[in-house]
């Protein structure tokens, strides 16, 4: 087993290949600073995701974390009148279709696994299930190595129902 970062990045690349998506990333919450960041990514076209700092409940990751449920968009485009602060990662990577899946540790939603395409796509059930199972695997993998870094403390006391 390699480093956690390496392992996660390998998983993301593999997930991207299996789901034939353009972009895969994992957002993680940081308890100390009340923020969420996109920590790891695969298929990114620029470095913008690294600079994005989401406040709790903001953005796609924040929404998935708050609800604890998957978010699936088939054809996204910015509309006039909506607030672009609700979807910075989609703008940064030019994504049109996404699956956002909550990642939990000890039944607390701690992160969000996102895969997306830069074209309109309606995701098949198998693809959604695959993303869900990878999200679960990532959760248990991170849980196993709980002592290795600062990313594992819970930010939100949200219990998945």
Partner 1 sequence: MSRMENMEAAQNTSFLLQSIFSHVTDAILIVDKQGYVMELNPAAEKMTGWSKNELIGIVPFCEICVGMATVTNEFSCVNCFASGNCPFPSFEMKIRRRDGKEIHVAASSTRLPEDQSGALVIILRDMSEQYYLEQQRFRMLMTNYVIHAQEEERKRVSRELHDGIGQALYSILVGLKVVNQLQLDRNVGDHLLDVQQMTARALEEVKSMAVELRPSALDDLGLLPAIRSYMKRYEQTFGIETILEVTGEKRRYSPSIETALYRICQEAMTNAAKYADTDKILVEFNSTKTKLKLTILDYGCGFDPSSINIRGTGLGLYGMRERASLLRGEVNISSSPGDGTKIEVIIPINEKGEPIHVDSGTCC
Chain residues in the site for partner 1 (CB under 8 A): 31, 34, 46-53, 55-56, 78, 80-81, 84-85, 88, 91-92, 94, 157
Please state the closest distance from residue 95 (CB atom) to partner 1, in A: 12
CA pair distance 150, 152, nearest whole angstrom? 6
Least distance CB 65 / partner 1 (angstroms): 13
Which DSSP string corresponds to 54-84? EPTT-HHHHHHHHHTS-EEESS----TTS-G
Assigned token pair, 31: 């308890």
For the bound state, the minimum distance from the C-beta of residue 100 to partner 1, rounded and expressed in Å, comes to: 17
* Degrees, nearest 5: CA angle 9-52-31: 80
Angle between helices 125-144 and 4-19 (to 10 degrees): 170
Residue with tokens 């989401």: 54
Given the complex with partner 1, which of 6 and 84 has the nearer CB atom? Answer: 84
Give least dist CB 47 to partner 1, A.
7
Nearer to partner 1, 92 or 117 (CB): 92
Q: In what order do the strands lie in the sheet with 53-54?
A: 53-54, 35-42, 23-30, 108-117, 97-105, 71-73
CB closer to partner 1 out of 6 and 78: 78
To the nearest whole angstrom, how small is the minimum distance from the Cβ of residue 51 to partner 1? 4
């Amino acid at each position: 087993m390699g480093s956690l970062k390496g392992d996660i990045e390998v998983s993301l690349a593999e997930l991207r290949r299996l789901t034939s998506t353009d972009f895969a990333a994992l957002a993680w919450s940081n308890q100390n600073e009340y923020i969420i960041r996109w920590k790891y990514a695969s298929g990114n076209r620029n470095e913008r995701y690294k600079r994005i700092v989401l406040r709790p409940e903001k953005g796609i990751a924040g929404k998935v974390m708050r609800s604890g449920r998957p978010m699936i968009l088939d054809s996204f485009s910015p509309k006039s009148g909506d607030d672009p602060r609700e979807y910075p990662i989609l703008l940064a990577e030019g994504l049109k279709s996404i699956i956002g899946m909550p990642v939990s540790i000890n039944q607390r939603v701690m992160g969000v696994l996102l895969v997306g395409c830069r074209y309109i796509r309606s995701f098949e059930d198998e693809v959604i299930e695959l993303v869900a199972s990878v999200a679960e695997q990532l959760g248990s993998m991170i849980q196993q190595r709980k002592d290795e870094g600062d990313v594992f403390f819970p930010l939100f006391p949200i219990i998945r129902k």
